[in-house]
A = this chain, B = another copy of it.
Amino acid sequence: MEDRLEIRTRPRERIVVTACDLFHRHGIRSVGVDAIAEAAGTNKMTLYRHFGSKDDLVVEYLRKVANDAEAIWGQLEAGHPGDPIAQLNAWVRRAAECVIADGRGCDMVNAAVELTDPEHPARRIIEDFKKSYRGHLTKLCGAAGAIDAELLADTLSLLLEGARVSRQSVGAEGPSARFVRMSETIIATFPRHRAMEAGQPDI
């Protein structure tokens, strides 16, 4: 029974991992199910047994991206327990690493650009992910002392999204190269509660 389960789950995982890689590198529309099945060492029939359609596989891909990305908030907290300012600075560094290391940008944004149909099932995943991300970053900005935490979070996240698409348009030497400096300048000049300025968190 154990063995049978393993045999049944293995191709599914290979399909998901392969689809994530190909969609990320080449875009969703330019990768067909044939190419995914072949690269995953399986066939189209098996792929369709696990995923009713390419759209289902796209949804699974974005769910995986969302779950992986969700982990960052726990890591920031674990890295700097009880120190939200250090966590926010660490967020900037981590975000910059993503911008620099990966010229293909944010999977969620790219998917939103490609999947123009507002009824596409993936759009719900994208929207939920971005809302959750906004909630986490706003909470962190608030804990770090920002008076208008949502405005700071929105500014930083638009800068990050802009940096990631700019990196795709004009490469790593363009405006995205200064993401850290821009973010740090904005964080430093943003109005914050006085106790935080003196390094004494009051929340």
Residues of A within 8 A of B (CB): 25-27, 29-30, 104-105, 108-110, 112-114, 116, 126-127, 130-131, 134, 151, 153-155, 157-163, 165-166, 168-171, 174-176, 178-179, 181-182, 185-186, 189
Contact = CB atoms under 8 A, between A and B. Distances in A.
Contacts of A163: 158, 162
Contact of A26 (B116, B157, B165): B116
B29 A30 contact: yes
A-side interface mostly: helix
A186 B165 CA distance: 21
Most buried by B among A104, A159, A162, A163: A162
Nearest to A137: B175
Given A29-B29, A159-B162, A174 B114 contact: no
B109 A29 contact: no
A6 to B, nearest CB: 35
A175 B131 CA distance: 10
B168 A131 contact: no
A103 to B, nearest CB: 9
A17 B29 CA distance: 24
A158 B176 contact: yes
A181 to B, nearest CB: 7
The 4 A-B residue pairs with the shortest CB-CB distance, nearest first, are A162-B162, A158-B162, A154-B175, A161-B162
Given A26-B116, A109-B169, A155 B182 contact: yes
